[in-house]
Amino acid sequence: MVAKNRKQTGKSPATQADRDKSPLVSPPGKSTVRRAGREGKGSSGSHPNGLSGVRNKLRLTPSAVVKLGITLLLAALTGYLHWYHLSQLFENDRHFSHLSTLEKEMAFRTEMGLYYSYYKTIIEAPSFLDGLHMIMNDRLTEYPLVINTLKRFNLYPEVVLASWYRMYTGVMSYFGIPTKMCWSINRGEGLTPVNSCEGMGDPAYFYVTCVFLLNGVMMSLFFVYGAYLSGSRLGGIVTTVCFFFNHGESTRVMWTPPLRESFAYPFLVLQMLLLTYILRTRTPSRTAMVALGVSNLCFMLPWQFAQFVLLTQVASLFASYILGYLGAAKMQSILVTHMVTLGVCFVLMFGNSMLLTSFYASSLVSIWAIIALRDRFTQVFKPGIVLWVMQGLAWVGATVLLKFMLSTVLGASDDAHISGLIKSKFTSYKDFHTLMYTCAAEFDFMELETPVRYLKTLLLPINMLVVALIAVRVSVFGLGGGKASVKREDVDEALVYHSLQLVAFAVLAVLIMRLKLFLTPHMCIMASLICSKQLFGWIGEKFKHQVVVFAVMAVMAIHGVVNLQAQWAIIGEFSNLPQEELLDWIQENTHPDAVFAGAMPTMASVKLSAGRPIVNHPHYEDAGLRSRTKLVYSMYSRMSGETVKRNLMKLGVDFFVLEDSWCTRRTRPGCSMPEIWDIEDPQNVGKIPLCTHMSRNSRPHFTTVFSNEVYKVLKIPKITKDLR
């Protein structure tokens, strides 16, 4: 590829304890509280609605305003650096700015392409409302069904981005301002040139830029979070440095922008920051609780798995309550906020039953009941370990019982595969759907290399030290028979919660490696506590403490910089000529109503770039879709060709896209598609897989109408299709 030439064309007042714990607000010297009846008057001739008025309302001293400004400036800088880092990694990996529209769409593989297709639908529709109606009455994704994809696939991010894109291009067009620059790119190797566009007027460019900007804001929040938790701006620096040094273990947004966690995780950071503030405030204001609820909602709406993360949060808070570090009233306020958020999310998701039948929803109800019956528990059980254990057992038992009761009553089985996945982690249980997950490396147990990488950047040792110090403080002041007043004063309930949350994330990450994307950032947050006077005041005076922290960061940098250099060294260029040939053939040689089936990742591309109806896709969180995919994947079993043909006939398929790699690929013993099918179809074990026969000769059951080195398109005979 040749290089292209660019052308120019009412808030609650902070308590003293809050001020002492926050680096954003300095402890006041003289009182700035004005006498009653004089709030409307400015001082020293300043305008009451100006900066001075804001400062007085927040009760900040001039030095506190300066410190707050520095904190926000550093937060903005870290956000910019992360946005730039993500953008460069993505560009270096795919040369995205030089790709054609089709190549950009193909770069969004598997479920990424599925999500992006709905964004494309809305922006290409005659109007925004027409596009919204099209995705809410979708006829292409699960032919012949008409489904509300906004309900099924958590597509609010695409709806919002598509509305922004339409407004942006509309306004720019009205004023005659160009929004993109396009070039003809010579791809070499005898390939035809393609047009490539760059700028916010290009749909794909607009999409990924917004994702990276959101995750830049996430890093700014991360800095503020670390600074607030540790009580020092240096803590914010430690948090962001740890994140960058462990970037490959902390996020994958630079490789997979359209995935749901790319949109959801920044709001989890905000939600946990607000939760930390609430835990540190004796009587949280209504504004704080509303903000917590809104951030909670913004986390839940984009991602179907947010409920599992929030389950760990509620469990960690409940453990803090059981141990006596979180009051019943505050715990109930947080539970109410979660319940209201869940209800609003249920409505906005058009009654998605997975929300009400989740362990998260059942857990909220069971914990509420246990707290309401706390007097009964204390009457029956002796305070101490026995009471803690019984409350914990009551929570587990009530949650599981209520969850399965709700699933039975509502007839919901969409999350049954999650129960199977959890069961497979602790037993020898396995079935087709479970193996589809566990055979993928990201759903396997955490690999040994991960904690080794944590060791090399000192992230694991620092976290172990921090948690150990928190445990010591808890045991000395809390469990050692101290008075309640001593406990409240000397043990920060936010630190207790964060330690328990770390344990919960660690358990999830060990069981499912993909979930280390929650563990690693939380470890970075916990690492900020090396700057906490509360935990590390024994080091000595402030200067000595800071020297130690900088020394630790210097040691971190030895391997952390190596990790960053390894990321920067990734230079690639996206190209998938076999799939490009396939998609071009489909558009030129098949009717727009022709129905396709095949491997889930490929079907997402067929829907996105060719606009053809498909019968299966990569979003696996639906019982009906799992059944459809199982029928489609019978092509990779050892069943007879006649049986598989009838399976496809039931689904109304016109063309099947066969990929030989799906027939032969084996990530580990027992994980090739024919071996997975052997679990479900033991009577055919030992036979040659049908896909092997099809790769040689598709007759008499099918007719090969297209083939290249990767793909073969099999046509279902008309006479067979008419029988369905």
3-state SS record for 635-649: HHCCCCHHHHHHHHH
Residue 614: helix, strand or coil by DSSP?
strand
Question: Based on the domain organization, do 127 and 266 belong to the same domain?
Answer: no
Q: What angle do CA 68, 71, 73 make, to 5 degrees?
A: 110
What CATH code is carried by the domain that includes residue 705? 3.40.50
DSSP 99-134: --HHHHHHHS-HHHHHHHHHHHHHHHSSSHHHHHHH
- Return the SS3 of 53: helix
Q: Is residue 658 part of a domain?
A: yes
Q: What is residue 47's predicted lDDT score, i.e. its pLDDT? A: 45
What pLDDT is attached to residue 604?
Answer: 95
556 shares its domain with 655: no
Burial of 438 (0-12, 13-18, 19+ CB in 10 A): buried
Query: Is residue 393, in this structure, part of any structural domain at all?
Result: no
Q: At what angle do helices 203-230 and 516-527 cross, to 10 degrees?
A: 40
Amino acid 575 reads S
Q: What is the pLDDT of residue 540?
A: 84
Asked if residue 585 and residue 665 are part of one domain, the reply reads yes
Give the model confidence (pLDDT) of 383-411 as tens digits.
888 889 999 999 999 999 999 898 888 87
- The SS3 call for residue 542 is helix
Contact in structure between 76 and 83 (CB atoms under 8 Å): no
Same domain, 417 and 337: yes
Inter-residue contact 205 to 212 (CB < 8 Å): no
Within-domain flag for 62: no
The verdict on residue 290 lying in a domain is yes
Rg of the chain over all Cα atoms, to the nearest angstrom: 28
194 and 286 assigned to the same domain = no
Based on the domain organization, do 173 and 282 belong to the same domain?
no
Residue that terminates a domain, selected from 540, 569, 598: 569
pLDDT score recorded for residue 719: 53
Residues 221 and 325 in one domain: yes
Specify whether the CB–CB gap between 210 and 258 falls below 8 A. no
Coil/strand/helix, residue 26: coil
How confident is the model at residue 715, as a pLDDT? 94
* Inter-residue contact 308 to 360 (CB < 8 Å): yes
Give the span between the Cα atoms of 703 and 697, in whole angstroms: 9
Number of domains comprising the chain: 3
Backbone region of residue 652 per phi and psi (left: phi > 0; alpha: psi in -120 to 50; beta: other values):
left
Q: Do 513 and 639 fall into the same domain?
A: no
- 160 within a domain of the structure (yes/no): yes
Burial tier of 581 (Cβ tally within 10 Å: 0-12, 13-18, 19+):
middle
Low-confidence ranges of the chain (pLDDT < 70): 1-59, 414, 477-490, 718-724
Domain that holds residue 599: 577-715
447 and 348 belong to one structural domain? yes
Choose one of 179, 201, 223: the last residue of a domain: 201
Closest CA to 560 of 256, 216, 250: 250
pLDDT of residue 55: 59
Q: What is the pLDDT of residue 399?
A: 94
Helix axes 328-348, 359-372, angle to 10 degrees: 150
Partners of residue 181 on adjacent β-strands: 198
Q: Is the CB of residue 529 less than 8 Å from the CB of residue 465?
A: no
Burial class (CB in 10 A: 0-12, 13-18, 19+), 392: middle
pLDDT at residue 467, as a whole number: 95
Q: What is the pLDDT of residue 592?
A: 94
Q: Is the dihedral of CA 644, 649, 651, 652 positive or negative?
A: positive
Residues 685 and 638 sit within 8 Å (Cβ to Cβ): yes
How many other C-beta atoms can be found within 10 angstroms of the C-beta atom of residue 97? 19
Sign for the pseudo-dihedral over CA of 456, 459, 460, 466: positive
Number of CB atoms found within 10 A of residue 437's CB: 18
392 within some domain: no
Hunting for tokens 């009941």 — which residue is that?
369
Q: Are residues 530 and 645 in the same domain?
A: no
pLDDT the model gives residue 147: 94
Whether 548 and 649 share a structural domain: no
Q: Among 176, 201, 226, where does a domain finish?
A: 201
In a domain, 29, yes or no: no
Residue 672 lies in a domain: yes
Distance CA 207, CA 226 (A): 29
Which tokens hold the place of 718?
A: 């008309």
347 and 218 fall within a common domain:
yes
Alpha-carbon torsion 233, 236, 242, 243, what sign? negative
Report the side by side order of strands in the sheet with 655-659. Answer: 596-598, 655-659, 711-715, 703-707
